[in-house]
Amino acid sequence: MRTEIHVTSQAREELIDITEAVRAAVAASGIRDGIVSVYAQGSTSAIMVQENCDASVPTDVITCLRQLAPRGVWLHDRQDGNGDAHLKAGIIGPSETLPILDGKLGLGRWQGLFFCDFDGPRAGRTAVVTCIADR
C-alpha cells in the first residue's frame, strides 16, 4: 500500500512531526507485520527518526546541522543560494524504514518521525509512505 503525506513548512529549516500521519497510514494498510518506508521527495528535504517528546531536540538538530553545513559558503550557492540545504538533506538522508509490529508502527517510546525541510518555507512538500507485508 502506498500513500502520500503533504506538509507545509513555516521556516527555512524545520522538522515537522509526521508520526501520527504515518501511524494512520500503517493502520489503514491493514498490514499486521512488515515494514513501512517513509521517503521525502525533494533534494533539500529528509526524513529522520528522533525524539519527539522534547521540543528542544528538533532545535538542537537544526543548530547542529547549521554548524556542520553553514549557509552561503558552497559552490551551489551561486546557482540558487541553497547549497547548505542540499548538504543537510544528504547528511540526514531521504528515507527511513521501520517495522510494522502487530499492526502498529514499531517506534520506540520516545521516538517520532520527522519530515525535515531545509529550504523552506514551502507548501506542498511530500513524503511517500509505502507499507509492505512480510507475507
Per-residue pLDDT of the chain (135 residues; tens, 9 = 90+): 999 999 999 999 999 999 999 999 999 999 999 999 999 999 999 999 999 999 999 999 999 999 999 999 999 999 999 999 999 999 999 999 999 999 999 999 999 999 999 999 999 999 999 999 998
Phi-psi category of 57—alpha, beta or left, where left has phi over 0 and alpha has psi -120 to 50? alpha
Q: What is the pLDDT of residue 135?
A: 81
d(CA 91, CA 87): 6
pLDDT tens digits for range 13-45? 999 999 999 999 999 999 999 999 999 999 999
* This prediction's pTM: 0.95
Q: What is the pLDDT of residue 28?
A: 98
- The residue assigned the cell 553553514 is 70
Q: What does the radius of gyration of the chain's CA atoms come to, in whole angstroms? A: 15
d(CA 78, CA 123): 24
Q: Are 26 and 99 in contact (CB under 8 A)?
A: no
Domains of the chain in sequence order:
2-133 (2.60.120.460)
